[in-house]
Amino acid sequence: MRGREFKDAVFQQFARIASAFASPKRIELIDLLAQGERNVETLADETGLTVANTSRHLQILKSARLVESSKRGLQVFYRIAGPEVLRGYLGLQRLAEAHLAELERLVRDYFGDGDTLEPMDSERLLRRARAGEVTVIDVRPREEYESGHLPGAVSLPVKELADRLAELPRDRRIVAYCRGRYCVLADEAVQRLRADGYDAVRLAEGFLDLRQAGFPVETVDHESRKEGSRR
């Protein structure tokens, strides 16, 4: 193989990854799978796609070795192929943040002037939560919380918020977080909490950012929960 042929072949492989990321819906699928394993039907519901279109996008991601799958009974479950996929996805975000003014404008228009943000570093957040100074809530769907969450965070999916407000203390700040810095779930939760008189803010970083930065993560032990329910 000549040098020119080698370079063409190498860049063609790089282009396979770029092509897999060249769809907004495929990027959203990576974002969802970075939170935890999902079946096709759940992914279709989250992204607003049909099951057939979701499967088609997943096959493209799988062909580029960005996701993996396994079958359980009649359902197929997908997951990201490794931590380097998450690093690549977050790197794509940083690249867009550095060069696309349109992205900054979109964020500013949606989230407003930032008065709902808690620009707290992860270590300080953990210290304040342990000291009982703040209550940290994870507003992602429960299965995402069970796959991994911040230590001490309470699972309070945004869809359940209206029915569970009484569980939250009114004498301390509520800090909500969700999937990533562009996730809208925490913003929705904060708006609802503030309307009910709570001192609520959303964490500037999302779960993916904190996990990638090395922040400790807890998971739910399903076997322990089963044993506890038998006693």
Active site (catalytic) residues = 178
Q: How far apart are alpha carbons 49 and 201 in whole angstroms?
A: 31
- DSSP 3-state of 151: coil
Closest CA to 165 of 127, 192, 131, 130: 192
The answer for residues whose C-beta is within 8 angstroms of residue 147's C-beta and 6 or more apart is 35, 36, 37, 219
CA dist 98 and 103 (Å) reads 9
